[in-house]
Amino acid sequence: MTDMPFTARYPHVVNRSAKAYAEHLARTSGLTAGGRCAAEALIETLNSAVAEGVELGPDHVKATWRQLAAAEISDAEGLVNHWQLGYGSDSAAVISIGTEHAYELMPKLRDNTPVDVGLAEMTTECLVAVIWLTASKPDVLQKIASAPWWGWATGFSTKRPYHIYAADYYKVSARSTWATIGRDVLRGGADWRTALAERCYQIELSAYPARQSVGGRGPSEDRIRFLQFFLGEASPTARVLIFHGTPKFANVDPRQALGAAFLGLEHLGEPTRVGGDSRRREWRLFDSGQRRVIFSRALSGLNVSAEYLEQISRLVEEAAPPDHPSL
């Protein structure tokens, strides 16, 4: 796991993310004064990043946590980024799709009191394409994401850039999804952060944040179309697509269409295999050619047993062994 390329293997995906989001913001109406200022700053920063790429300097970054904090909570509907990218190597053999980002717009104090910080909590997802286009330049990231209450676990580094090694920068529980996938599913052990970054690209099904999947909002049509585009672009290198967590926000399961798109099928059809652990925690497997789709439970906390994680790990390794090359 060395000599990782820090620019995107699939730049068309990153460019589409930036351009489509900027176009959406330009069309958005009904924002408050703070929301409109944030939208204009986002548009300018996204366009500058597309034009300048890794040459973009902090002076040309007009959208930061401060601009998002000046927007109102009511602006979230218009400013949410349905074209947000994921984290980790985009040429990884494994793609994991969770239900949504696990955060709330109003962070809580130690006594559980919610605090209104505008839309500051959305900052990195609004500007994730800028982060990818600039290869996580520390001076750019520091300007974008220096809200004093975030408390990054370490300083931003060019050696392990944020857009790939995101887990380095957060204080992560041992039972979290990131740790579970990196350590147990990918068998990364103590170096699970590296395994997660270099062998898995993590992206979310819905662009709307929610601390828990119950009560979360389903993906928009724009989000589904963007994910289908990404899965098509990543097909030369991806071998396994894991959906972890069962969506509880939709009458029609969006995983069906996305799984079919990944496998190159018109319809996903019946599972190739169905299995589970001794406590009847189920997984479903869909195979076509060299690619595999796995529907699993949420891979965190008490949702899964060691037995279940061993089964999921074997299913991944069958289709995407650890030495599977990234192109």
CA distance 124 to 130: 9
- DSSP code string of 17-64: HHHHHHHHHHH--S--HHHHHHHHHHHHHHHHHHHHGGG--GGG----
- Band of pLDDT at residue 56, cut at 50, 70 and 90: very high
Residue-wise pLDDT tens digits, 104-156: 788 777 788 888 899 999 999 999 999 999 999 999 999 999 999 998 999 99
- In 3D space, the residue among 2, 183, 6 whose CA is nearest the CA of residue 87 turns out to be 6
Looking up tokens 């902090």 gives 58
Q: What is the DSSP string of 79-98?
A: H--TT---BS-TT-SEEEEE
Question: What DSSP string describes 229-266?
Answer: HHHHHTTTT--EEEEES---S-SS-HHHHHHHHHHT-S
SS3 state of residue 292: strand
CA 124 to each of CA 58, 189, 211, 320: distance values in angstroms, whole numbers, following the listed order: 15, 28, 17, 30
Give me the mean pLDDT over the 64-79 stretch.
96
**The pLDDT of residue 213 is above 70:** no
Residue 211 has pLDDT above 80, yes or no: no
What pLDDT was estimated at residue 2?
A: 41
- CB distance 268 to 299 below 8 Å: no
Q: How far apart are CA 59 and CA 44, in angstroms?
A: 12
Residue 279 contacts residue 285 (beta carbons within 8 Å) = no
- Ranges of each domain in the chain: 11-319
Average pLDDT, the chain: 92
Asked if residues 56 and 201 have their Cβ atoms less than 8 Å apart, the reply is no
Please tell me the distance from the alpha carbon of residue 82 to that of residue 5, in angstroms, as a whole number. 26
Helix (H) / strand (E) element for 128: namely: helix 128-133
CB neighbours of residue 70 within 10 Å: 18
CA atoms within 13 A on the CB side of 209: 21
pLDDT at residue 38 greater than cutoff 90 = yes
With b for 16 or more beta-carbon neighbours within 10 A and e for fewer, the 260-276 pattern comes to bbbbeeeebeeeeeeeb
> At residue 45, does pLDDT exceed 80?
yes
